[in-house]
Amino acid sequence: MAIVVMKFGGTSVADIGRIRSVARHVKREIDAKNQVAVVVSAMAGHTNQLVAWVREASLIHDAREYDAVVASGEQITAGLLAIVLQSMGIPARSWQGWQIPILTDAAHGAARIIDIKADELKARLAQGEVAVVTGFQGLEPKRNRISTLGRGGSDTSAVALAIALGADVCDIYTDVDGVYTTDPRIVPSARRLPRISYEEMLEMASLGSKVLQTRSVELAMVHRMRTRVLSSFTDPEALQPVRSGSEWQNIGTIVCDEEEIVESQVVSGIAYAKDEAKVTIMNVADKPGVAAAIFGPLAEANINVDMIVQNLSADGKYTDVTFTVNASDLPKTLEVLKNAREQIGYSEIKSSADVVKVSVIGVGMRSHAGVAAKMFKALAEKGINILAITTSEIKISVLIDAAYAELAVRTLHTLFGLDKD
Ligand code: ASP
Ligand code: MG
């Protein structure tokens, strides 16, 4: 007997037909005598609609009321799934964040889970009742208000609940059947990864692979919660129920410890992010304090700077500084730099959002030299110019012109032996 948390995303609960299919997935686990908590998202498109209504009501709005509105989508799906389960003879009860409660901090719109009081749920699961929990939302206890965890936050609700319940696994059901070596829409020969380490998944998630919310991966990593990504569109009866301790059916992708991955490659995946923008500050003085004058005001304005390149100055006096920010932060960035022109001292600012960041990721890089050299050479041979580079222990990212994104991803996918044979 295992404790299982099953999370279903928006496309998996898009209509009543899909919700019935979700209920069959739940029934499979209940029939195997597992204890089941389900976390649901809002029906596909509903949260977008709610956000749009809030903005239409007023572009500037109270964050607590934003949360009151956008948290409502999950309430609908939780209730509907409980009704369908009950109609199948399965005892089930819906739970909203405040009813459990799932306690969060006060950062409305992007709240963090602080604690989950799971005793009541545990007792009910043990009696065979399915708990259907609203994803994405919690309760901010000081003001006693509903909070939400940021877009895609249901993944984080699921992992946090799995940790609180001491679950054997957190199964994330989505519309793809796992995590791929890269986006299969760009590279048809992309392969499903049977396993991926927490560290690699974290890089994938933060570098643009939208399968899991980044925070959910952080949480799973810290608590070593085994998390599986699988498709809710698979025939529910074709899947084996979870059994604690036994072998796993070769389905989906298991996010787990590095040590549990037997056949690991040097590079596990290629990610790309389109929402980057490049800013170049021309002719700044090449002297101490200039970088601080540039990046200090940006940090104060809460703008995240990603890649930074400073050119060598030919004359030892002036240089150019290039960096990237999220494309949505570009207007604010330009404004901050304009206001700080006096302190920084520059001749001109150039910017472009027509860039993408392509990254190769793999824990194997820790023990293999030469990955970067190989990558740069392959890109050069295709005539792709590198605008900026950043690296970490397990990843190398390059910024290139957007026009070359697909060519670069395909080239690197083949280069590192990731194509399906
Ligand atoms: N419904 C929320 C969203 O669309 C949360 C989620 O689905 O994870 O962002
Ligand atoms: Mg999602």
User: pLDDT tens digit string along 303-346?
Assistant: 999 999 988 777 888 999 999 999 999 999 999 999 999 999 99
Burial class (CB in 10 A: 0-12, 13-18, 19+), 285: middle
Pocket test for ligand 1, best of 8, 41, 67, 74 (most atoms within 8 A of CB): 41
Q: Which of 158, 157, 159, 155 is nearest to 147 (CA)?
A: 157
**For residue 137, what are its two tokens?**
């939302």
Under DSSP, the state recorded for 192 is B
Pocket test for ligand 1, best of 136, 148, 229 (most atoms within 8 A of CB): 136
State the pLDDT at residue 315: 80
State the pLDDT at residue 181: 95
159 and 282 belong to one structural domain: no
Q: Does residue 87 lie within any of the structural domains?
A: yes
State the pLDDT at residue 249: 87
Q: Does residue 263 lie within any of the structural domains?
A: no
Q: Does residue 376 lie within any of the structural domains?
A: yes
Residue nearest to atom 8 of ligand 1 (CA): 152
State the pLDDT at residue 104: 98
State the pLDDT at residue 11: 97
Confidence of residue 127 (pLDDT cuts 50, 70, 90): very high
7 contacts 39 by C-beta, under 8 angstroms: yes
Predicted TM-score of the model (pTM): 0.90
Domain termination site, one of 228, 258, 288: 258
pLDDT in tens, 239-251: 999 998 778 888 9
Is the pLDDT at 233 greater than 90? The verdict is: yes
**For residue 299, what are its two tokens?**
């940090």
State the pLDDT at residue 265: 83
State the pLDDT at residue 209: 75
**Which atom, in ligand 1's list, is nearest to the CA of 149?**
5
Is the pLDDT at 384 greater than 90? The verdict is: yes
234 and 153 belong to one structural domain: yes
Q: What are the residue ranges of helices labelled H in 284-387? A: 290-300, 330-339, 341-344, 371-381
254 and 353 belong to one structural domain: no
How far is the centre of ligand 1, averaged over its atoms, from the C-alpha of 136 (Å)? 6
State the pLDDT at residue 206: 82
- Assign 35 to helix, strand or coil: strand
Arithmetic mean of pLDDT, 21-35:
98
Is the pLDDT at 264 greater than 80? The verdict is: no
Is the pLDDT at 254 greater than 90? The verdict is: yes
Does ligand 1 lie within 6 Å of residue 12's CB atom? no
Is the pLDDT at 208 greater than 90? The verdict is: no
Under DSSP, the state recorded for 176 is S
State the pLDDT at residue 261: 87
Arithmetic mean of pLDDT, 46-67:
97
Strand partners, 169: 4
Cis peptide before 91 (omega within 30 of 0): no
Confidence of residue 105 (pLDDT cuts 50, 70, 90): very high
Does ligand 1 lie within 6 Å of residue 73's CB atom? yes
Does ligand 1 lie within 6 Å of residue 39's CB atom? no
217 and 246 belong to one structural domain: yes
Largest CA distance in the chain: 80
Arithmetic mean of pLDDT, 221-247:
93
Q: In this structure, which ligand is nearest to the CA of 135?
A: 1
219 and 275 belong to one structural domain: no
Residue burial 141-155, b: 16+ Cβ < 10 Å; e: rest: beeebbbbbeebbbb
Arithmetic mean of pLDDT, 391-411:
96
Q: Which of 337, 391, 388, 400 is nearest to 369 (CA)?
A: 391
- Assign 348 to helix, strand or coil: strand
How far is the centre of ligand 2, averaged over its atoms, from the C-alpha of 350 (Å)? 35
Residue nearest to atom 9 of ligand 1 (CA): 151
Distance, first Cα to last Cα, the chain: 38
331 and 380 belong to one structural domain: yes
Arithmetic mean of pLDDT, 384-396:
94
Kindly list the distances between the CA atom of residue 248 and the CA atoms of 30, 37, 194, 241, in Å, as whole numbers in the listed order: 18, 20, 10, 10
Confidence of residue 163 (pLDDT cuts 50, 70, 90): very high
Average pLDDT, the chain: 95
How far is the centre of ligand 2, averaged over its atoms, from the C-alpha of 209 (Å)? 11
How far is the centre of ligand 2, averaged over its atoms, from the C-alpha of 147 (Å)? 18
Q: In this structure, which ligand is nearest to the CA of 211?
A: 2
Distance from CA of residue 170 to its chain's centroid? 15
Arithmetic mean of pLDDT, 178-188:
93
Other C-beta atoms closer than 10 Å to the C-beta of 339 total: 12
Residue 204 structural domain:
3-258
State the pLDDT at residue 412: 98
State the pLDDT at residue 234: 95
Q: Does residue 420 lie within any of the structural domains?
A: no
96 and 28 belong to one structural domain: yes
229 and 319 belong to one structural domain: no
Q: What percent of the chain shows pLDDT beyond 90?
A: 90
Arithmetic mean of pLDDT, 101-117:
97
239 and 293 belong to one structural domain: no
342 and 227 belong to one structural domain: no
How far is the centre of ligand 2, averaged over its atoms, from the C-alpha of 370 (Å)? 35
Q: Does residue 264 lie within any of the structural domains?
A: no
Q: What are the residue ranges of helices labelled H in 187-247? A: 198-206, 214-223
Burial class (CB in 10 A: 0-12, 13-18, 19+), 65: middle
How far is the centre of ligand 2, averaged over its atoms, from the C-alpha of 317 (Å)? 49
The residue assigned the tokens 């060519």 is 407
Amino acid present at 363: V
96 and 141 belong to one structural domain: yes
Q: What percent of the chain shows pLDDT beyond 70?
A: 100
Does ligand 1 lie within 6 Å of residue 154's CB atom? yes
Arithmetic mean of pLDDT, 353-378:
95
Q: Does residue 421 lie within any of the structural domains?
A: no
**For residue 67, what are its two tokens?**
């949360």
Domain termination site, one of 216, 238, 258: 258
Is the pLDDT at 108 greater than 90? The verdict is: yes
Give me the number of domains the chain comprises.
2
Q: CA 20 to CA 61: how far, in whole Å?
A: 37
Confidence of residue 207 (pLDDT cuts 50, 70, 90): confident
Does ligand 1 lie within 6 Å of residue 148's CB atom? no
- Assign 256 to helix, strand or coil: strand
Q: What are the contacts of 374-383 at 24+ separation with CB within 8 A?
A: 374/415, 375/412, 375/415, 378/411, 378/412, 378/415, 379/408, 379/411, 379/412, 382/407, 382/408, 382/411
Q: Per mean pLDDT, which range of 77-91, 136-150, 273-287 is the poorest?
A: 273-287
How far is the centre of ligand 2, averaged over its atoms, from the C-alpha of 7 (Å)? 10
The pairing of beta strand 102-104 with beta strand 348-361: unpaired
178 and 287 belong to one structural domain: no
Domain termination site, one of 201, 226, 258: 258
**For residue 158, what are its two tokens?**
């699921």
**Which atom, in ligand 1's list, is nearest to the CA of 10?**
7
Arithmetic mean of pLDDT, 125-151:
98
